[in-house]
Amino acid sequence: MRDRAEVVIIGAGIMGLAIAYNLARHHGVRDVVVVDQGYLCGGASGRNGGGVRAQFSTEENINLMRESIRICRDFATELGVNVWFRQGGYLFLVRDEAGRRRLEASAAVQNRCGLPTRILTAREAQAIVPDLSTEGVVAAAFNPDDGVVFPWPFIWGYSQGAERLGAEIATFTKVVGFETRGRAIEGVVTSRGTIKTSRVVNAAGAWSPGIARMLGVELPNKPHRHEICASEPLKPFLGPLVADLSNGLYFSQSMRGEIVGGVSNDDVPHGLDHGSSHRFLALYAKAILAACPRLGSVKVMRQWSGCYDLTPDANPIVGFVDEVDDFVQASGFMGHGFMIAPVMGRLVAELVATRAVSPLFERWNLRRFREGKLLRETMIIG
Ligand SMILES: Cc1cc2nc3c(=O)[nH]c(=O)nc-3n(C[C@H](O)[C@H](O)[C@H](O)COP(=O)(O)OP(=O)(O)OC[C@H]3O[C@@H](n4cnc5c(N)ncnc54)[C@H](O)[C@@H]3O)c2cc1C
């Protein structure tokens, strides 16, 4: 492992790798080491549902996600890796009038941004997913451009792309401390030695508060275990990813035919935990059978979990911090960090390379929690 680097990125999840790739590709910053305490795909980036959507409630998130979808479409051409991107749309369901108002308000913003999102009756939703039960469904929203990817090749694509351009990806290398002088970072201390550097990106996802604390910076994001499972492969029958905003149920069919899905479980306490439970399977089975009774006879093949990285206002923490020089945060991406990473990798790389703070990163700065300038996003699953 290199013992000095222009930039050290902590965390080789989708965020850290996308930033490393874009630093090299668009800014010529190739002397970069990405360190990870484990293996590639060991964090949330290797454990998620692969959903990619632009159906959000703020113009900011809608436009960012639309750009991410465009990058997903071009990913194989740019990076030579097939990420199995399938645009079957996202079908959101709501079961009460408040939910309908929330969907309608979000769809209006999406339409203003140029998205073809439509509000549907339960019957119209059933025309898109014939196996859907309409019982209790008050309204739905559908955007045909949303879709799903297979997360692992996405990680491999960025990792290999960054390495080809000169970055080093150091797995099984845990950050345990920092060398500092006043406000300046002088080195990152790892389980495999110290890397001299003055510029660090904290892309450690649900672990990012622990990294920041080593430098005396307190982040308000909290890890929260989310369980997920995959069924045996079935013949293709399900076009969109179906998401029920009333209970956090979501499920989609992968390119291999598996039904991959999860559901909210509010009883899980905050904390770093990758355990799996029968309780989740019971909650999921109840919710998915109500939404799609046909799946009752399908076998569950695998279940696993990962950590959402939750912030108090459901928006990320990105940008420089006031306490330490050249220490960039890129975390707090909730349950939608995978889909935002393609565009975020570009924007954070630009921030690191140029130090020019955009209005977006002013709003997403850590300082907003101290100043009481909390943001809002209502289209959150789970
Ligand atoms: C069950 C589940 C389903 C999800 N579904 C979706 C979805 O459909 N669509 C979507 O967009 N998002 C989804 N998400 C969220 C998404 O997976 C995350 O937002 C995203 O992967 C975060 O990426 P990241 O790179 O910030 O973090 P991670 O992928 O968690 O990477 C952080 C890395 O930091 C490393 N690290 C931690 N501490 C240290 C240390 N001390 N030293 C070195 N390295 C360290 C970790 O090993 C880890 O690899 C889901 C998440 C879960 C758990």
Residue 43 token pair? 């964090």
Q: How far is the CA of 205 from the centre of ligand 1 (A)?
A: 5
Range of the domain at 276: 86-145+223-310
Task: Please report the pLDDT score of residue 199 as a whole number.
Answer: 98
The pLDDT, as a whole number, for residue 153 is: 96
Instruction: Specify if 283 maps to a domain.
Output: yes
Residue 110 Cβ inside 6 Å of ligand 1? The answer reads no
- pLDDT of residue 23 exceeding 80, the answer is yes
53 has pLDDT over 80: yes
Are residues 235 and 140 located together in one domain of the fold? yes
- Answer whether 158 contacts ligand 1 (Cβ < 6 A): no
Q: How far is the CA of 76 from the centre of ligand 1 (A)?
A: 22
Same domain flag for 299 and 164: no
At residue 266, does pLDDT exceed 90? no
> Ligand 1: which atom is nearest the Cα of residue 36?
44
pLDDT tier at 270, thresholds 50, 70, 90: very high
Domain final position from 283, 310, 337: 310
217 and 233: one domain? Answer: no
pLDDT at 382: 77
pLDDT in tens, 239-259: 999 999 999 999 999 999 999
pTM flag (> 0.85): yes
Asked, for residue 79, whether it belongs to a domain, the answer is: no
Same domain? 107 vs 236: yes
Q: Which helix (H) or strand (E) holds 84?
A: none
Distance separating the N- and C-terminal Cα atoms of the chain = 39
Q: Does residue 273 have its Cβ closer than 6 Å to ligand 1?
A: no
Q: 180 CA to middle of ligand 1, Å?
A: 27
- What pLDDT, in 10s, does the model give residues 286-343? 999 999 999 999 999 999 999 999 999 999 999 999 999 999 999 999 999 999 999 9
* Residues with Cβ within 8 Å of residue 282, at least 6 apart in sequence: none
Residues 227 and 306 in one domain: yes
Question: Among residues 242, 241, 209, which one has the least CA distance to residue 223?
Answer: 209
102: domain CATH number is 3.30.9.10
Higher pLDDT, 345 or 255: 345
User: Model confidence at 80, in pLDDT bands (50, 70, 90)?
Assistant: very high
Query: Distance, CA 13 to ligand 1 centroid (Å)?
Result: 6
Distance 267 CA to ligand 1 centre (A): 21
Among 266, 294, 310, give the residue marking a domain's end. Answer: 310
Position 371 scores a pLDDT of 96
Q: What is the pLDDT of residue 280?
A: 97
Residue 68 belongs to some domain of the structure: no
Which residue has the least CA distance to atom 3 on ligand 1?
A: 48
Domain end position, chosen among 310, 325, 342: 310
The verdict on the CB of residue 308 being under 6 Å from ligand 1 is yes
Per the structure, the count of domains in the chain is: 2
On the question of pLDDT at 218 being above 90, the answer is: yes
10 CB under 6 A from ligand 1? yes
- 132 and 235 in a single domain? The answer is yes
Within this chain, do residues 355 and 280 fall inside the same structural domain, yes or no?
Answer: no
Nearest CA to ligand 1 atom 15: 335
Nearest-atom number in ligand 1 for the CA of 309 is 19
Pairing verdict, β 317-320 and 327-331: antiparallel
Let me know: does 111 contact 117? Beta carbons within 8 Å. Answer: yes
Output the domain CATH number for residue 317: 3.50.50.60
Q: What percentage of the chain exceeds 70 in pLDDT?
A: 100
Residue 375 gets which letter from DSSP? -
Residues in the chain: 382
| pLDDT at residue 381, rounded to an integer | 86
> Residue 78: inside a domain, yes or no?
no
Residue nearest to atom 19 of ligand 1 (CA): 337
**In this predicted structure, what is the pLDDT of residue 252?**
98
Tell me what pLDDT residue 5 has.
98
Same domain, 286 and 335: no
**CA-closest residue to ligand 1 atom 51:** 48
User: Is any atom of ligand 1 closer than 6 Å to the C-beta of 223?
Assistant: no
C-beta 36 within 6 A of ligand 1? yes
